[in-house]
């Protein structure tokens, strides 16, 4: 154990002196939380502004007082679209769909000839797309009002044309609604933890081998397991530091939120940060061990990087199973490292309780990955040293 501690101290000193790499890793870990939150809140507040604006862009609405009157009664302001609206829509310079009304609209309407209006939008223009549904709903409302009026004038009950009244109700908790937006956060934290430990993990294995310092190291009277344990400790430490930093970075990150609604919905306090850590620390340990296992057989740092990238990609892709799973969360999800953390961190963000047995499962899975990897590394050490 004394030997393992010596190795740990040396590897930590070594890793800490690699200033440039370390700074990059730590900065990205600290920045990931606030940046994500700032970006999200910018998107949400923009959507809110748009929803609050209640504006309709139109062409030729002067010739349609009935429709114009309807829109104003719904609380909308009518704005005249610029002449080159089509180009502006395709260039995404105009953020609203445009309602085009013909000059004969009013006359046709009175004559009962079903005048035509056009909603102009561009599929590539996301902001305009968002507004399209709202505009179409508005127009449907106009149709309904006109129809009901006509029926009522003729003494026909409205229920004849509309058999069912449809109303929708959202039962999601406010946190769950926010979690739709914040669902990506766990993914990015997991990425930061996994990739942050990469450099250190490869340096203590493939790097040691490439420098030619592995062979002399093994000629010391130190048990293999102690060497591996010390090295693993140092790499895991780097990963865990990143986990701590990125988990905590969300606490001040909340201040950056521009959208008050999102800030109110995104409940992230010390409790959540702690829950994140409980989930992330075992993952950091398992990643460190896995990285070492992948790298120990590589002849050079470069070769190790290539194989580590593939291994880590598999790791980071596991959350996709959760995102794309048609049946939702499955009990076995908590047993897959990466996916398990993603699933449970999502639950924390949604304000759902996390069951201790699920946490135990993620820890167990991480411990198994760590143990298997470390045994493999200590068995491979001698063979790697001489080739």
CB of 205 to other proteins, least distance (A): 13
- Within 194-233, the residues that bind other proteins by CB under 8 A are 208, 211-223
Residues between 87 and 116 with contacts to other proteins, criterion CB under 8 A: none
CB 60 within 8 A of CB 102: yes
- State in angstroms the smallest separation of the CB of 27 from other proteins: 20
- Closest contact distance (angstroms) between CB of 87 and other proteins is 58
3-state secondary structure 310-376: HHHHHHHHHHHHHHHCCCCCCHHHHHCCCHHHHHHHHHHHCCCCCCHHHHHHHHHHHHHHHHHHHHH
**157 three-class SS:** coil
Choose between 219 and 324: whose C-beta lies nearer to other proteins: 219
Nearest to other proteins of 198, 214 (CB atom): 214
Binding mask 356-385 for other proteins (x = CB under 8 A): --------------------------x--x
**Which of residues 223 and 252 has its CB atom nearest to other proteins in the complex?**
223
Say how many Å lie between the first and final Cα of the chain, rounded. Answer: 28
Determine the interface stretch with other proteins among 4-12, 160-168, 260-268, 372-380 (rule: CB under 8 A): 4-12
Residue 207 or 285: the one with the smaller Cβ distance to other proteins is 207
- Whether residue 193 contacts residue 280, with contact meaning beta carbons closer than 8 Å, is answered with yes
Which helix H or strand E contains 80, and what residues bound it? strand 77-80
Quick one: 15 or 128, whose CB is closer to other proteins? 15
The structure tokens listed for 249 are 């970075």
Q: Choose one: 6-14, 87-95, 146-154, 316-324; the region binding other proteins (CB under 8 A).
A: 6-14
Long-range contacts of 342-346 (CB under 8 A, 24+ apart): 342/186, 342/187, 342/190, 342/318, 343/319, 344/279, 345/185, 345/186, 345/189, 345/190, 345/275, 345/276, 345/279, 346/179, 346/183, 346/186, 346/322
The reply on whether position 14 binds other proteins by CB under 8 A is yes
Q: Is 166 in the site for other proteins (CB under 8 A)?
A: no
Least distance between other proteins and beta carbon 380 (Å) = 13
Residue closer to other proteins by CB (options 23, 152) is 23
Q: Within 13 Å, how many C-alpha atoms sit on residue 253's CB side?
A: 29
Where along the sequence are the contacts to other proteins (CB under 8 A)? 2-3, 6-7, 10, 13-14, 17-18, 208, 211-223, 382, 385-386
């Amino acid at each position: 154990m004394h030997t393992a501690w010596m190795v740990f101290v040396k590897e930590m000193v070594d890793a800490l002196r690699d200033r440039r790499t370390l700074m990059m890793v730590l900065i990205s870990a600290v920045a990931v939380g606030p940046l994500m939150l700032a970006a999200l809140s910018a998107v949400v507040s923009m959507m809110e502004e748009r929803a609050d604006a209640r504006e309709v862009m139109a062409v030729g609405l002067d010739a349609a007082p009935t429709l114009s009157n309807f829109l104003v009664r719904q609380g909308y302001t009518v704005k005249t679209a610029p002449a080159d609206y089509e180009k502006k829509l395709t260039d995404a310079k105009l953020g609203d769909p445009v309602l085009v009304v013909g000059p004969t609209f009013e006359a046709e309407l009175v004559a009962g000839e079903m005048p035509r209006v056009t909603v102009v939008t561009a599929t590539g223009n996301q902001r305009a797309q968002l507004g399209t549904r709202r505009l179409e709903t508005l127009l449907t409302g106009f149709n309904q009002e006109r129809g009901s009026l006509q029926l009522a004038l003729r003494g026909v009950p409205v229920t004849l044309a509309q058999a069912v009244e449809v109303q929708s109700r959202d039962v999601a908790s406010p946190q769950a609604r926010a979690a739709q937006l914040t669902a990506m956060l766990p993914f990015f934290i997991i990425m930061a933890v996994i990739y942050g430990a990469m450099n250190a993990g490869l340096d203590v294995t493939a790097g040691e081998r490439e420098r030619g310092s592995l062979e002399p190291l093994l000629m010391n009277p130190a048990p293999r397991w102690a060497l591996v344990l010390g090295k693993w400790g140092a790499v895991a430490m780097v990963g865990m530091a990143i986990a701590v930093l990125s988990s905590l970075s969300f606490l001040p990150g909340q201040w950056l939120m521009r959208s008050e609604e999102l800030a109110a919905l995104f409940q992230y306090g010390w409790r959540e940060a702690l829950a994140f850590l409980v989930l992330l620390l075992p993952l950091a340990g398992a990643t460190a061990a896995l990285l070492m296992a992948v790298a120990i057989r590589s002849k050079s740092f470069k070769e190790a990087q290539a194989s580590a990238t593939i291994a880590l990609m598999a790791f980071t892709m596991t959350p996709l199973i959760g995102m794309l799973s048609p049946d939702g969360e499955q009990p076995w999800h908590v047993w897959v490292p990466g996916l398990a953390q993603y699933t449970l961190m999502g639950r924390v963000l949604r304000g759902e309780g996390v069951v201790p047995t699920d946490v135990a499962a993620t820890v167990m899975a991480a411990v198994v990955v760590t143990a298997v990897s470390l045994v493999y590394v200590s068995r491979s050490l001698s063979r790697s040293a001489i080739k």
